[in-house]
Amino acid sequence: MASPFTPDQQKVFDAQVGKIIARYPPERKSAALIPVLHVAQNIHGWLREDAMDYCAEVVGVPATRVREVITFYTMFHLKPVGKKHVQVCVNLSCWLMGSDKLVEHCRKNIGDEQFKPTADGAQSWCEVECLAACGGGPAAQINDDYYENLTVEQLDKVLKK
């Protein structure tokens, strides 16, 4: 299968994935799927079809398994998102603590459509069902960072950094 990466990107992918796969016994290489998908997503900013298929081949799983994983976890993106992607938890605990205000703020300040990057590509947002932070709601994840007890004012500060 042809690589979905440029030669420079392929070097990065190979180096990072080599270290990841080395942590697993050869017969359990498939267990590296999630971290390998993270590497591919970090390179492109989202998981393109060709990259998903390539990752499946690298770890030795069917392409359908990759689709199962990426559609289950909210951390994987099936289309481009903004450089700062805000995921607001809207599950019951967070909603009761005010996540609806965060969602309203995102709609007003980032854009009405979930996942759609702003014109400059700087920001995007979406609702997610759970960030496993029920005791610290409302919670949001911005790229790889988690925020609990988040207010609209705190969200603004983070997005302006």
Q: Give the range of the structural domain holding residue 33, as residue numbers without chain letter.
A: 7-72
Of 118, 119, 110, 33, residue with least CA distance to 140: 110
- How many structural domains are present in the chain? 2
* 128 within some domain: yes
User: For 34-91, how does the pLDDT look when each residue is reduced to its tens digit (9 = 90+)?
Assistant: 999 999 999 998 999 999 999 999 999 999 999 999 998 888 999 899 999 999 999 9
Beta-strand pair 140-142/145-147: antiparallel
Let me know whether 34 and 92 are in one domain: no
What is the reported pLDDT for 75? 84
What is the reported pLDDT for 82? 93
- 81: its two tokens: 């998102």
Let me know whether 91 and 152 are in one domain: yes
Let me know whether 91 and 156 are in one domain: yes
Let me know whether 128 and 94 are in one domain: yes
* 78 within some domain: no
8-17, 100-109, 131-140, 148-157: which range is least confident on average? 131-140
The CATH number for 102's domain is 3.40.30.10
User: For 108-151, how does the pLDDT look when each residue is reduced to its tens digit (9 = 90+)?
Assistant: 999 999 999 999 999 999 999 888 888 999 999 998 899 999 99
* 1 within some domain: no
